[in-house]
Amino acid sequence: MSAPIFISYSSKDQDIAETICKALESRGQNCWISCRDVRAGDNFQEAIVRALRTAKVMLLVFTSNANNSDEIKKELVLAGRHHVTVVPVRVEDVVPNDAFSYEFATRQWIDLFKNWEQQIELLSSRLEHVLQDAKPGETVLAPAAMAIPRRLPQKSSNAPLIWGAIALIAIIVIGGAVFLLRPSPKPMVAAAPPPTAPTMAPAPTPSAPQQTAAQAPPPVAAPPVTPVPAPATASAPAPAAAAPTPAPQVAEAPVALPPAAQQSPEDTAWQAADNANTPDLFSGYLKSFPYGAHLQEAQLRLVNLIRTGAPPIKTFDGTWQTEWTCPNLGGYPGYSYSFNGQVKDGVYHGTKGAKGEPSSMTLDGRIEADGTAGFTGEVIVGSSLVGLGAARGSPSDFHALGHFDHGSGNGKRIEGRPCTLTFLKQ
């Protein structure tokens, strides 16, 4: 099998290489990748040589692992021998070592770790451009395919007219500047001060004592013994000062609430499940309130109860092909793992890769008689690009809820990225 795009990568970066391959093929590109296209029984080295000989583009997935890979250096030599265009893409912010710096000195990088969606579209369009320009038996250089040709300016036959127009415009601009900057023949007349300025000063003096008298409640409140003889002067400010006093008393009166507030149906269901701490009540809460305020806590409590308290059953014993799929999230690409898990006495266990190594995964769970399943798992980050920026080799723990039928099952991650699980009995 051959394809126009040969994907070169370190074996330690298989997950991100497969992610790039799927992203390009979903956009109509035809790729060759060794982990998928080397058939059982084929000689691995011969298959790579054949694929490179017929390819038009070598897409190099460049990481810290690729930076120290002797096998990739050999593939670069083969690409140069067969006149295959090399397009490097960085999925980590890694500076090439001396060997790769010499090889890529005239090539243009594409950084997939900056903005996945935007950069993968750019990569796809550039690969299409290279493939369209590449003809059978013709060597295509990566910089020529990547760079935009620059057109040299041509001499115009209307140069004298252009220079004359420029000179005329300059004369007009200079003349206008001289006219605008010449001194004005008329002197500036100073504005006379407003005649009303002296008359405004005495205006506030009579009102000042009225304001102070009105704003000073103690002197006004002193003569309350004779309310009738002073109706005009003393009693007028008194109601004004007393008016705000009853206002808060009236506002505080309706604040009193009923002695016991009624609980909502969701609060009642959650309180019952929390007190009983049984799988049935937590399952009932999740079914009745799938977007409730205690959603994640109910899910985690249910997982722990299933994992620790379910009796052994044999209904689902056997081998289950397991698919773990995580979608794109922001600027980070999605990925998927496929592996087999074993169920014995209702207990599930599955692993992908070597435990603890980058790009590995462990999944453990228990299945109840009605098919409800709870899982705990750990993923070891294989690339910071698909690990939401986490460092390569760092662990990511999670919980998941699922449900099994006779021959199939499904599940969903509770925390973090909304990854899904699918199960198919073998």
For residue range 52-73, list pLDDT tens digits in order. 999 999 999 998 889 889 999 9
pLDDT at 159: 54
HSE on the CB side for 199, CA within 13 Å? 4
Q: pLDDT band for 329, please (50, 70, 90 cuts).
A: confident
Q: pLDDT band for 200, please (50, 70, 90 cuts).
A: very low
Percent of the chain with pLDDT over 70: 69
Query: Looking at the DSSP assignment, which residues form a beta bridge with residue 5?
Result: 31, 57
pLDDT at 197: 44
Least confident of 86-95, 278-287, 309-318: 309-318
The CATH 3.40.50.10140 portion of the chain extends over 5-146
pLDDT at 218: 47
pLDDT at 178: 54
For residue range 141-171, list pLDDT tens digits in order. 444 333 333 333 344 445 556 666 666 676 6
Residue that wins the pLDDT comparison between 13 and 107: 13
For residue range 223-242, list pLDDT tens digits in order. 444 444 444 443 444 444 44
Whether the per-residue pLDDT at 352 is higher than 90: the answer is: yes
Q: Which are the contacts of 61, defined by CB distance < 8 A and separation ≥ 6?
A: 7, 8, 9, 10, 13, 16, 17, 20, 89, 91
pTM of the model: 0.52
Whether the per-residue pLDDT at 339 is higher than 90: the answer is: yes
Q: pLDDT band for 388, please (50, 70, 90 cuts).
A: confident
Residue that wins the pLDDT comparison between 424 and 393: 424
If phi over 0 gives left and psi between -120 and 50 gives alpha, with beta otherwise, what is residue 401? beta
Q: pLDDT band for 134, please (50, 70, 90 cuts).
A: low
The CATH 2.40.160 portion of the chain extends over 318-425
Whether the per-residue pLDDT at 39 is higher than 60: the answer is: yes
Residue that wins the pLDDT comparison between 19 and 108: 19
Nearest to 31 by CA among 49, 8, 14, 47: 8
pLDDT at 425: 94
Q: How far apart are CA 411 and CA 409, in angstroms?
A: 7
pLDDT at 51: 93
Q: Domain 318-425, what architecture?
A: Beta Barrel (2.40)
For residue range 239-294, list pLDDT tens digits in order. 444 445 554 454 444 544 444 457 899 999 999 999 988 888 998 999 899 888 88
Least confident of 127-136, 149-158, 338-347: 149-158
pLDDT at 324: 94
Per CATH, is 5-146 categorized as 3.30.200.20?
Answer: no
pLDDT at 15: 87
- Mean pLDDT, all residues of the chain: 77
Q: How far apart are CA 21 and CA 35, in angstroms?
A: 11
pLDDT at 183: 56
